């Protein structure tokens, strides 16, 4: 997880959105630089120019715009609501709904409360309105709330989740897919594996795994070739096409009586392979998680520490051990079914004559 994303997820999870409430009041968050002793609502602080001195606060300012993408405001006092920029009337900001009026506004960054004067809406424009602009203004005025209450806290709900409650999944989904629901991504987050493995799957899905090829593109000085077979190292190579990976998938094919082995992530996700191994889709992702995590860890150990497994079967055993460790995360009924799958893999491994199999033999399979 990038530091920025991690930060915003932590902040919004812990500070702003309580899972117990579908709607929340924005609570006071203090600038940890110590600036200001009055209780200041989070969004006031976030929208302030005062960046403070701490790394936390400076980093938060860098990602605060992400919050705007999913927040819908209900103006009570209007102090935390950007009149033109925030979503609080309808489903888009007013600057999108009324672009001409926004352009003519004297204070395009004004808060809603700044336009509420003496019990009425009063917006300063840079020139007099034309007839059509006047009609737009009247239309806008009709959509505005009939009153604001001084010192009343504004409310905010999270638009990127059906429940209106902030969730890391909805933010990740929006950041990675711009709000388009990708069914496979959805399956990743539903897979019953530890969070770091879900993120590993997300990296695979989005081609973000730090393989040698990916690092090379970012200016890394090392080789972009696989430390085991010398071919270009990318996600599909490490997890499907390298000799070690092919050995693992051949083992899965044999153990589960399949016909083919996957050659890419897209291949594995395909329905054809789900039918191939006659497993429910949630199990295939669970199975993949254990084996892929074992392959990735082993590959890194070879590339970074130059420690090679003496037998390729060790990687399969490692993958099986991960699945056994994560099995309690499954529903009770699924745990038994998964045990059968794991037992079939173990049985195949036990009968493979491990004493004569070594990494150098794998190319022959
Ligand atoms: Zn390789």
Determine the distance separating the centroid of ligand 1 and the alpha carbon of 244, expressed in angstroms: 7
Tokens 């291949």 belong to which residue?
Answer: 267
pLDDT of residue 38: 36
Determine the distance separating the centroid of ligand 1 and the alpha carbon of 349, expressed in angstroms: 22
Determine the distance separating the centroid of ligand 1 and the alpha carbon of 308, expressed in angstroms: 13
Determine the distance separating the centroid of ligand 1 and the alpha carbon of 299, expressed in angstroms: 9
What is the reported pTM?
0.52
Determine the distance separating the centroid of ligand 1 and the alpha carbon of 210, expressed in angstroms: 15
pLDDT in tens, 240-283: 999 999 999 999 988 888 888 888 888 887 655 556 666 776 78
Determine the distance separating the centroid of ligand 1 and the alpha carbon of 315, expressed in angstroms: 14
> Residues of the chain whose pLDDT is less than 50?
1-45, 47, 49, 178-182, 356-357, 359-365
Alpha-carbon distances of 127 from 105, 122, 137, rounded to whole Å:
9, 14, 13
pLDDT of residue 130: 86
Let me know if 140 is exposed, middle or buried by CB neighbors in 10 A (0-12, 13-18, 19+): middle
Alpha-carbon distances of 164 from 7, 85, 242, 287, 311, rounded to whole Å:
21, 20, 44, 33, 51
Determine the distance separating the centroid of ligand 1 and the alpha carbon of 195, expressed in angstroms: 27
Determine the distance separating the centroid of ligand 1 and the alpha carbon of 314, expressed in angstroms: 17
Determine the distance separating the centroid of ligand 1 and the alpha carbon of 229, expressed in angstroms: 4
Q: What is 262-320 written as a DSSP string?
A: --SHHHHHSHHHHHHHT--HHHHHHHHHHHHHHHHHHHHIIIII----SSTHHHHHHHH
Let me know if 216 is exposed, middle or buried by CB neighbors in 10 A (0-12, 13-18, 19+): middle
pLDDT in tens, 191-217: 899 989 998 998 898 888 899 988 888
Determine the distance separating the centroid of ligand 1 and the alpha carbon of 239, expressed in angstroms: 9
- Please state the φ and ψ torsions of residue 202, each to the nearest 5 degrees: -65, -40
Q: What letter does residue 71 receive in the DSSP assignment?
A: E
pLDDT of residue 11: 46
Determine the distance separating the centroid of ligand 1 and the alpha carbon of 301, expressed in angstroms: 13
User: What are the extents of the domains in the chain?
Assistant: 3-158, 182-364
Determine the distance separating the centroid of ligand 1 and the alpha carbon of 232, expressed in angstroms: 7
How do 116-117 and 71-74 pair as beta strands? unpaired
Determine the distance separating the centroid of ligand 1 and the alpha carbon of 307, expressed in angstroms: 15
């Amino acid at each position: 997880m990038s530091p920025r994303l991690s930060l915003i997820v932590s902040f919004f999870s812990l500070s702003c959105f309580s899972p117990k409430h579908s709607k929340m009041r924005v609570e006071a968050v203090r600038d940890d630089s110590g600036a200001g002793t009055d209780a200041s609502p989070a969004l006031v602080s976030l929208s302030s120019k005062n960046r403070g001195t701490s790394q936390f606060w400076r980093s938060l300012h860098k990602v605060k715009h992400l919050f705007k993408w999913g927040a819908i405001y209900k103006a009570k006092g209007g102090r935390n609501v950007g009149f033109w920029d925030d979503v609080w009337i309808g489903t888009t900001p007013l600057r999108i709904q009324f672009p001409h009026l926004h352009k003519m506004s004297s204070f395009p960054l004004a808060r809603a409360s700044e336009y509420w004067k003496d019990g009425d809406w009063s917006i300063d424009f840079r020139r007099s309105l034309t007839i059509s602009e006047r009609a737009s203004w009247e239309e806008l005025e009709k959509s505005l709330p009939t009153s604001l209450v001084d010192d009343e806290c504004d409310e905010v709900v999270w638009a990127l989740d059906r429940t209106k409650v902030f969730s890391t999944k909805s933010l990740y989904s929006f950041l990675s897919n711009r709000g388009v629901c990708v069914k496979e991504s959805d399956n990743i987050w539903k897979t019953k594996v530890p969070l770091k493995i879900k993120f590993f799957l997300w990296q695979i899905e989005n081609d973000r795994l730090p393989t040698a090829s990916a690092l090379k593109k970012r200016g890394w000085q090392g080789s972009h070739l696989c430390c085991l077979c010398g071919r270009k190292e990318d996600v599909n190579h490490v997890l499907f096409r390298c000799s070690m990976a092919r050995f693992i998938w051949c083992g899965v094919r044999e153990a589960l009586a399949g016909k083919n082995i996957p050659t890419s992530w897209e291949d594995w996700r395909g329905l054809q392979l789900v039918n191939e191994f006659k497993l429910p889709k949630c199990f295939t992702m669970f199975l993949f998680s254990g084996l892929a995590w074992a392959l990735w860890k082993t590959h890194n150990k070879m590339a970074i520490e130059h420690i090679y497994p003496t037998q390729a079967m060790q990687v399969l055993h490692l993958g099986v051990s991960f699945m056994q460790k994560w099995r309690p995360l499954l529903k009770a009924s699924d745990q038994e079914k998964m045990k059968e799958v794991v037992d079939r893999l173990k049985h195949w491994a036990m009968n493979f004559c491990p004493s004569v199999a070594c990494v150098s033999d794998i190319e022959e399979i």
